[in-house]
Amino acid sequence: MPNDQLKEAIEVTNSELVIPPHTNHIGTIFGGRVLELMDMTGAMAAMRFAGEDVVTASMDAVDFKKPIQLGDMIELKAKVIHTARTSMVVKVDLFRLAHADSQKDFSCRGYLVFVAITCDGNPKEVPTLKLVTDDDNKFWAIGERIKQRAKERRIRDADD
């Protein structure tokens, strides 16, 4: 897909019931399971945007703010917030849903970078994200910083 094509991002939603294989001995969800779900939901948002297969290139730090218990329902919302030549930064928010009502508690947010790939695994161009709202501009700037941090890590690791 050519880079000069402007495209709006759609939000992808994914839901899950927290079951025993995904909880620890004190009955709360494993952090690794949360990261897995964020990765999967983020990948779907990136694939739908790019119209291509994608791989996860990196994940920014995630802070777990509230425990999620066995039997809770969780909801993830993912959206592309930044694009470059072949990469996309995706914001993924995770909410805990209370059983009794429709109240949603924000649990954590992650920013992941996905790269569109050809069937040979080589990076492939993605459309350019169309910015519509003030929020789009705000998150684009966050995406720029995330790409910059990832670049600095790559330079640092190349020196090790």
Ligand X SMILES: CC(C)(COP(=O)(O)OP(=O)(O)OC[C@H]1O[C@@H](n2cnc3c(N)ncnc32)[C@H](O)[C@@H]1OP(=O)(O)O)[C@@H](O)C(=O)NCCC(=O)NCCS
Q: Which is nearer to ligand X, 94 or 113 (CB)?
A: 113
Least gap, CB of 97 to ligand X (angstroms): 29
Rounded CA separation 150/108 (Å): 20
Rounded CA separation 79/137 (Å): 14
Q: Which is nearer to ligand X, 104 or 149 (CB)?
A: 149
Least gap, CB of 153 to ligand X (angstroms): 7
With CB atoms as reference, the residue minimizing the distance to ligand X is 84
- Tell me, rounded to whole angstroms, the distance of Cα 136 from its chain centroid: 15
Least gap, CB of 124 to ligand X (angstroms): 9
Q: Which is nearer to ligand X, 38 or 68 (CB)?
A: 38
Q: Return the structure tokens found at 134.
A: 């003030």
Residues that bind ligand X (CB under 6 A): 55-58, 84-87, 113, 115, 117, 121, 123, 150, 154
Q: Which is nearer to ligand X, 85 or 145 (CB)?
A: 85
- Residue by residue, DSSP assigns 13-64 as EEEEE--GGGB-TTSBB-HHHHHHHHHHHHHHHHHHHHTSEEEEEEE-----
Q: Kindly report the three-state secondary structure assignment for every residue of 71-114.
A: CCEEEEEEEEEEECCCEEEEEEEEEEECCCCCCEEEEEEEEEEE
Q: Which is nearer to ligand X, 18 or 92 (CB)?
A: 92
Least gap, CB of 42 to ligand X (angstroms): 12
